[in-house]
Amino acid sequence: MVTFQVSITSKDMFDYNVYHNYRNFQGIISLILGIVMLVVSFMAFRADGNISYILITGFLGLFFTVITPMRIYFKSVQQVKLTPSFQKPIQYTLSEEELIIEQDGAKAVLPFSEMYKAVDTGKSIVLYVSSLRAYIFPKRELGELQQQVVGIIKNSGIKKMKL
């Protein structure tokens, strides 16, 4: 059993949202499309192409490669500011069978059997309960407990794991 506290920052939320956005088919396609549009725009510019064509393809390229990540960042900042549960640290306790979540005297127990996926985003360990609901454990918050947390999760029986 291991107990630790987590404070979610906008950087943690941004890391989670980028991972969540670009690890699916739609996210990968949008990134590829953005790069292709930038290349097409550059090639049309070099060939003295139609200015409206250059501007449209350039805008689409920038939208998918620059504006989308900026939108995700600002969404993450707003999400952390407006979600009351992110305003105070959350205490997690991991045992062999369950995850216990405590904050402000409230307590929730979630068996590992109700979780379907655990992933390592590079900066966080994320436990998914559904495709839209997850628990984020930033590695900077875990510190020396990271290996112990990962070990418990690996032995938890969660079906999908990318740790």
Closest CA to 163 of 117, 112, 120: 120
* Cα gap 82→67, rounded to integer Å: 22
The closest alpha carbon to 98, from 109, 106, 84, belongs to 109
* Mean pLDDT confidence for 115-124: 93
Identify the pLDDT of residue 122: 92
- Report residue 163's pLDDT band, with 50, 70 and 90 as the boundaries: confident
Q: Tell me how far apart the alpha carbons of residues 159 and 117 are, in angstroms, rounded to a whole number.
A: 6
Q: What is the mean pLDDT of residues 41-59?
A: 90
Indicate if the pLDDT at residue 131 is higher than 90. no
**Site of tokens 């069978």:** 97
pLDDT averaged over the chain? 93
Percentage of the chain modeled with pLDDT above 70 = 100
- Sign of torsion, CA 32 33 37 38? negative
* pLDDT tens digits for range 90-104: 999 999 899 999 999
pLDDT value for 114: 92
Identify the band that residue 125 occupies on the pLDDT scale cut at 50, 70 and 90. Answer: very high
